[in-house]
Structure 1
Amino acid sequence: MIRSNKPYVLNKIIRGIILAAVLGCLWHGYAWYQIGCLPSTEVHGKADAGIVLGAAMWGDVPSPGLRERLDQSLKEYRAGSFRYFIVSGGLNASRSRYTEAEGMAKYLKDHDVPAQAILLENEATNTYENLFFSREIMKRYQLNTAIIITHTFHGRRAKEMAESLSYIDPQLSLVESKVLKKVPNHFREILAYSKWTLIKLGIPLSI
């Protein structure tokens, strides 16, 4: 009598699903830890530029989350931490007349920052491009060092990307959001950090 191998195949499938679920849970915990366990966020020295990473515009004005990053950058600028702002971000909404960078520049000017202290990067559509294009601006203006300004949940990935792009001693200045919901933003960042990790491992994904 020939026995069916269906139970054997089914058991293998079930074991595979369980293993994938366990590995997924372990990775989720590791990524959550990495996002929460930040590298040094205290500015330990002056830099040439403060790079403000873009976020959503609400129409023609920065969203509350983006304003938090901008206010953090103003705090560092007024403390003398850097000489030039690089505001980075492209057009993210068809309803907006301004790119993220243009909206940020207007906000900074409205808060008494001179126009000559603001450099605009208007093309980036993601964090890697923010840092890649900002690095090109730094080269153009002979700026060597930078402080990256963003939210706490975003700091780990931003720091790793900056190091991969050969930033010299990239520093972080991070703000803990009071307006963004923690759980959904951390889950989105886990997905983004997972994708970035795969790219670092040489798996060819689009950044």
Structure 2
Amino acid sequence: MRPFKTLDAKAAPLPFASVDTDQLIPARFMKRSRSEGYGQYLLYDMRFDGEGNPIEDFPLNDPARAGAEILVGRRNFGAGSSREAAVYALVDYGFRCVIAPSFGDIFASNSVNNGLLPAQVTEEDAETILSLLENGQNRAFVDLETCEIRLANHVFRFEIEPVWRTKLLNGWDDLDLTASYADDIARYVVSDRELHPWLQEIPASV
């Protein structure tokens, strides 16, 4: 994965609470191959009407938000089923960061494993950010090293699990994270052999 340190990008408001994974990508699109890209199906039933026409006042259909890499929502973002395809849809659409007061646990974990930053802010700060975006601001700066979001003349703090922060900063998946402890693991193996020789594997007879 690409390391995530800072991001200076367009931001789009999504002023809804409890946007769930079925809304992020409706189940009927999950039969398609990931190689086709899931971005076009992101929030499909919210972005388009029954005839497949864009809903003009939906935030992501605003030309001014085209190319946005930061999405700002309300509480309980990514609730619902554990489908990782919801994160694929966000990433394939171009988002690298979602800002919200709270996230579905599995959604947040899946996000980190796909290089998407789930930045948790207070409800008050989320409302302030949404208000700024809805009143003309369209860019934000996210700094994962300091855990800060800068927008207009405001600075907002966000929270993220320390191990998730480490993975994103380094562009690591779970295997990379484990490999980073290779020296510690090797020392433990040597120490354990000395402390518990009776637990070690007995060589096969020649």
TM-score category (smaller protein) = under 0.3
Q: TM-score normalized by structure 1? A: 0.28
Q: Which has the higher helix share?
A: 1
Q: TM-score normalized by structure 2? A: 0.28
